[in-house]
Homo-oligomer: A and B are copies of this chain.
Amino acid sequence: MPDAHDVLFRTLADPTRRALFERLCREGEKTVGALTAQAGVSQPVVSKHLGILKQAGLVRDRHEGRQTHYSAQLGALAPLVDWTREMAGFWQSRFNALEDLLKRMDQ
């Protein structure tokens, strides 16, 4: 039974799938057709990726007639942020190459 980090990393590791998620983040809700038009892969492949993103909790779907609208669920990224913070935390007292990183995280 893979943990939350596992699912997130594995889901986002595929470039095509990550690109779909990024588009949904940037441009908001999109239909499968609209996503397919720019994805560079076939419609079944897009549907499959969206299914995997949905399983990971990264997207929601909304049915409207025969269209399905997908949208990103940003909250699902929380475990990833936590993991990064945790790794950074372990290191906090060791090096200072991480100052850059912490500056980024704290904005």
Contact = CB atoms under 8 A, between A and B. Distances in A.
A7 to B, nearest CB: 10
A73 B101 contact: no
Contacts of A18: 5-6, 9
Given A75-B97, A84-B77, A98-B75, A90 B25 contact: yes
Interface string A45-82: 00000000000000000000000000011110110111
Given A26-B90, A72-B91, A75-B97, 15 more contacts: A2-B15, A6-B15, A9-B13, A21-B87, A25-B87, A25-B90, A73-B97, A74-B87, A74-B91, A75-B98, A77-B84, A77-B87, A78-B100, A81-B84, A82-B104
